[in-house]
Structure 1
Amino acid sequence: MTIRFAAAWGGTTPAIARSLCLSAPLGAVNDNHPHARPLLRSVSDAQDAPDAEDDTALAAALMHFARHGLSAATRARAEAEAAHASGDTLASARWLEICRRLDRRMADATARRLQA
């Protein structure tokens, strides 16, 4: 594959300057309302929110996915099965919830198998 370098047009003005609409403002504008719910919350905000469990479960699933990539759901299933085998129901439920966030069908099948 060939890589080509094109220097800026005119040496001082970028080539895109010719195609910009001069009447459009180029400054960044924050269009969020001052009382809008923030997209990301801090840990203290998550504890006060009614859906704090959902946020913490999602954060745990994302961290697990960051560590294990595409095999994260399979590893979470294995952790849930190991916790169930050792009798730790809380850890098994936690790992099943992480698995459910990553692969709902796999988690539902695992939960049915562990309940049987």
Structure 2
Amino acid sequence: MALRFAAARCASRSPIARALAWRAIRRAANDNRQLIPANDIDERTTAALRLFAGHGLGSAGIAAGHARQAHREGDTQTARWWLAICFSLDRNMAGELERQLAEPVVLATE
């Protein structure tokens, strides 16, 4: 009895793979019909992206820390700046931080 060898087909060139790829290509669409020009990105977004590029997923916590520090020093403008950057990166964390900063600090006196 003779055995015959039949090499496997390349998966990328199979008729099924081509049909599935064609459907995926036809469905692909750009959601952003109007692209935002680079000069329209505001300062806060640029700062948030730079912070994220440097610190990764922990960047929202770092921004929150800067906001807390500025708030302790009485610099409300800088605290708002860092809070806005934190909001760009993590809305939940920024909302919690905003509630914390809005509460008056009560010092226990003994």
Q: What TM-score, normalized to structure 2?
A: 0.59
Instruction: Structure 1: give runs of 5+ residues left out of the alignment.
Output: 1-14, 21-31, 47-51
Q: What TM-score, normalized to structure 1?
A: 0.56
Alignment partner for residue 37 of structure 2, among 28, 41, 52?
Answer: 41
Q: Which one has the bigger helix percentage?
A: 2
Q: How many angstroms apart in 1 are the aligned matches of 2:57 and 2:64?
A: 13
**Which position in structure 1 is the counterpart of 2:76?**
89
Alignment partner for residue 62 of structure 1, among 49, 53, 56?
Answer: 49
CA-CA distance at 1:62 after TM superposition: 1.1
Q: How many angstroms apart in 1 are the aligned matches of 2:94 and 2:34?
A: 31
SS of aligned partner of 1:87: coil
Q: 1:104 is matched by which residue type in structure 2? A: R
**Which position in structure 1 is the counterpart of 2:21?**
none
Q: How many angstroms apart in 2 are the aligned matches of 1:65 and 1:42?
A: 18
